[in-house]
Amino acid sequence: MNQSLREHEILEIARHTGKVTVDQLAAHFDVTVQTIRRDLTDLANAGRLERVHGGAILPSGVRNIRYEERGRVNAEAKQAMAQACAAAIPNGSALFINIGTSTEALAHSLIHHDGLLVVTNNLNVAAILAQNERCNVLLTGGRPRPEDGGLVGPVAAAMLQGFRFDIAILGCSAVSDVGDVFDYDLDEVTVSQTAMARTSQTWLLADKSKFQRHAPVQVAPLSRINRLFTDHIPADLSALCQDAGVAVRST
């Protein structure tokens, strides 16, 4: 396999798992670790990956990766997390659901719930749940982001002031090693923070790739999260969650 094809497949693996390692890739392609290191360096120089010790991850920075790529990262894990989260939501609940591919997976898992009120700033979540005739779906206003179907800004946040939610369910872009939740867009974060101020419970959906990335805007500290749904949580963070009283559901 030539370098171009190999790099393309490396990116596909990274999008699926969130991280690649030199040793795993060398075994996968039956090439030397030096060859893989050169490939990863070239991909990092092109801004496609970010080098870390022993391998590479999807790039962090001040901008999120493309929406299409976000949807492919850990897709099966996101589906399992969404199903676990949906199973914990009682019928008749009032929910806020924010922007993200994990929350869109949750919307699919709520198709058969009964009597939900869902307020969302995610056009994709609204379109999915509109298929459930027993679910009352309301969209916030706000500035639309064409790249991912999000509605953001002060208008979106202001609409939430008139509600009291049972649960605010959030996706995010990154979780720090001490459990703080981060995202990229301040206008998006403002909406999520407003929902958190209007709810009894805040639940977070975060697959393992979120523990490997960084984003610039803090959504909330760990202490503001009541439940975390994930596919894998680092041991140190698991201990912090236990100390903070955060219920962790790892699928």
Residue 150's DSSP bridge partners are 122, 145
pLDDT of res. 201:
98
Reported as a single tens digit per residue, the pLDDT across 15-43 is 777 788 999 999 999 999 999 999 999 99
CA distance 158 to 94: 18
User: What residue spans in the chain does CATH classification 3.40.50.1360 cover?
Assistant: 68-250
CB-CB contact of 166 with 202 (8 Å): no
User: What residue spans in the chain does CATH classification 1.10.10.10 cover?
Assistant: 3-59
Reported as a single tens digit per residue, the pLDDT across 150-165 is 999 999 999 999 999 9
pLDDT of res. 66:
55
Counted residue by residue, the chain has a size of: 251
CA distance 70 to 167: 24
CATH topology of domain 3-59: Arc Repressor Mutant, subunit A (1.10.10)
pTM equals 0.77
Architecture of domain 68-250: 3-Layer(aba) Sandwich (3.40)
Q: What are the structure tokens assigned to 139, written together?
A: 């969209």
